[in-house]
Amino acid sequence: VRLNESDTYATLPEARQRIVQKELQDRKLGGIGLRAEGAAKFNAVQRKLSDLSTAFSNHLLDARKAWNMTVTDNVTVRGIPQRALAAAAAAAAQAGHANATA
């Protein structure tokens, strides 16, 4: 008997039935119920997806670290707190921008 066809399931309130349905769906999407060949392929795809996700995150972090913006007018930074501007100027000076000021 399938869980969602059992007598116990039928007595659950509608909200709990939705929770059970969602959990069953999540398990199915997670590979539960696949035969050996399908499970092996599913696991390989999951590993590949994990590797790609990690690589993407690493590339994104590298790009964020490498990005910079040189601002030469006060209008662009209007509204930014003075402490933040001072920190940005210090970082720019450390990166070799000798004329960096807040």
For 64-87, write each residue's pLDDT tens digit. Answer: 999 988 898 999 999 999 999 999
pLDDT of residue 76: 93
Cα(77)–Cα(27) distance, integer angstroms:
50
* pLDDT of 101 over the 90 cut: no
Cα(24)–Cα(32) distance, integer angstroms:
9
Q: Which residues contact 90 (CB under 8 A, 6 or more apart)?
A: 100
- Per-residue pLDDT tens for 87-96? 999 999 999 9
Q: Does residue 59 share a domain with residue 47?
A: yes
CB atoms near residue 74 (< 10 Å): 8
Q: Which residues contact 77 (CB under 8 A, 6 or more apart)?
A: 71, 85
**What's the number of domains the chain is made of?**
3
Cα-Cα-Cα-Cα torsion 30, 36, 41, 45, nearest 10 degrees, comes to 30
Q: Does residue 83 share a domain with residue 53?
A: no
Tokens of 65: 């670290």
Residue with tokens 């399938």: 2
Q: Which domain holds residue 94?
A: 68-102
Q: Does residue 60 share a domain with residue 42?
A: yes
- Per-residue pLDDT tens for 10-52? 999 999 999 999 999 999 999 999 999 999 999 999 999 999 9
